[in-house]
Amino acid sequence: MEEEFKVIDNYLMIRMPNEIDHHHSVDISRTADKYIMDENVGNVVFDFERTTFMDSSGIGIIVGRYKKISCFGGKVFAINVGNRVRRILMLSGLHNIVEIM
Amino acid sequence: MIEIVNWKQGTQVTNEMKLEFRAVSDNEAFARTAVAAFVAQLNPTLEEISDIKTAVSEAVTNAIIHGYDGENREENKVWLSCMIKSDVLEVEISDRGIGIENIEKAMEPLYTSKPELERSGMGFSFMEAFMDDLEVISEVGQGTTIHMVKKIGITSWIVNEEL
């Protein structure tokens, strides 16, 4: 269940876990914020390649990071988005603030 | 004449199960997986299983972080019961926590009483979107019960219609 964080240039890459719920979301958000602050990254990329389950906690993670970086002109991206995650992003209107690639 | 069959009432319960577990976040995955395993006997599609898992996850998370305010105490329990009536799954998730003062407000999309926890306020919206029926019964100081219904075997053509 470990999630991986990697900074490439001005981008924080977050490899999201298999299941994203409230139980995991607290740790992901905390670690992501640490990277954003310490490494001074401007943009965040969420990689959903492994993700088969996500509830509204995932929305909280994305919106929370978006709020942290958007005021400095940062962007949020979502990559390897499967049908399930896509449906949840659309349903919550997140496709307006997240660039789905 | 077309006869309308009310599948909510009058249909016999063909199978049921009940669970009681401690209100800790580790149990969110357990609860949704248990419901998914139970509903497997109706031969749901992967899409339907995902819908049910998301809805159950939302309801159980609400019970843990709102009902019991995230406190891990021995007496804080969540009750989950499932019933199958022919091809319909009914799920009930209850807590004996603080209850909801204003159900209408709580159900508004994007409303959250805990913005500091980064809750998105989409929990009830997801339950409504992914299940066929949602009922919230709550009393302040008594607790909350979420009743959800999903008919198995119709999602495929609803999804096709949306496309």
Is B61 near chain A, with CB under 8 Å? Answer: yes
When comparing pLDDT for B3 and B48, which is higher? Answer: B48
Min CA distance, B83 vs chain A (Å)? Answer: 23
Continuous H helices in chain B: 26-39, 46-62, 103-107, 123-130, 155-162
The residue of chain B nearest to residue A23, with distances taken between CA atoms, is B25
What one-character-per-residue DSSP string does A36-65 give? HHHS---EEEEE-TT--EE-HHHHHHHHHH
Cα A5 to Cα A35: distance, rounded to the nearest angstrom: 8
Active site residues of B: 58, 62, 119
Kindly tell me the sign of the dihedral angle through the C-alpha atoms of B149, A18, A40, A78.
negative
CB B135 within 8 A of CB B147: yes
Q: What is the dihedral of CA B118, B124, B129, B131, to 10 degrees?
A: 130
- Assess A31–B contact: CB distance below 8 Å, yes or no: no
Output phi, psi for A70, to 5 deg: -65, -30
Q: What is the mean pLDDT of residues A32-54?
A: 95
User: How would residue B118 be classed by pLDDT, with cut points 50, 70 and 90?
Assistant: confident
Query: Span A37-48, mean pLDDT?
Result: 94
Average pLDDT over residues B40-51: 95
Q: pTM (2 decimals)? A: 0.88
ipTM of this model? 0.89
In terms of CA atoms, which chain B residue is nearest residue A65? B118
How many residues are given for chain B?
Answer: 163
pLDDT in tens, A50-71: 999 999 999 999 999 999 999 8
- What's the whole-number mean pLDDT along residues A36-57? 95
Judge: A56–B53 Cβ closer than 8 Å, yes or no: no
**Nearest-by-Cβ selection for B122 from A25, A53, A92:** A92
